[in-house]
Amino acid sequence: MSDGKIYVAATPIGDAGDATPRLRQMLETADIIAAEDTRRLLNLAGRLEIPITAKVLAFHDHNESERIDELLDAARAGMEVLVVSDAGMPTVSDPGYKLVHEAHEEDVPVTVIPGASAVLTALAISGIPTDRFSFEGFAPRKDGDRARVFSVLADEMRTMVFFDSPHRVGDTLAIMAEQFGADREAAVCRELTKTYEEVKRGSLDELAEWAAGGLKGEITIVVSGAPYREPSPDDHVDDVLVLADSGMRMKAAAAYISARTGVRKKELYEAALAKRDEDL
Please say if the pLDDT value at position 280 is more than 80. Answer: no
Nearest CA to 8 among 31, 29, 34? 34
Please say if the pLDDT value at position 261 is more than 90. Answer: no
Write out pLDDT tens, residues 3-14: 899 999 999 999
This prediction has a pTM of 0.82
Q: How far apart are CA 153 and CA 139, in angstroms?
A: 12
Work out whether strand 80-84 and strand 32-35 pair parallel, antiparallel, or are unpaired.
Answer: parallel
Write out pLDDT tens, residues 22-64: 999 999 999 999 999 999 999 999 999 999 999 999 999 999 9
Please say if the pLDDT value at position 262 is more than 90. Answer: no
Strands (E), 88-213: 110-113, 133-138, 159-164, 185-190, 198-203
DSSP 167: T
| For range 245-251, the mean pLDDT | 92
**Cβ-count burial 211-234 (b if 16+ within 10 Å, e if not):** beeebeebbbbbbbbbeeeeeebe
Alpha helices in 7-96 (DSSP H): 21-29, 38-48, 64-76
Please say if the pLDDT value at position 1 is more than 50. Answer: no
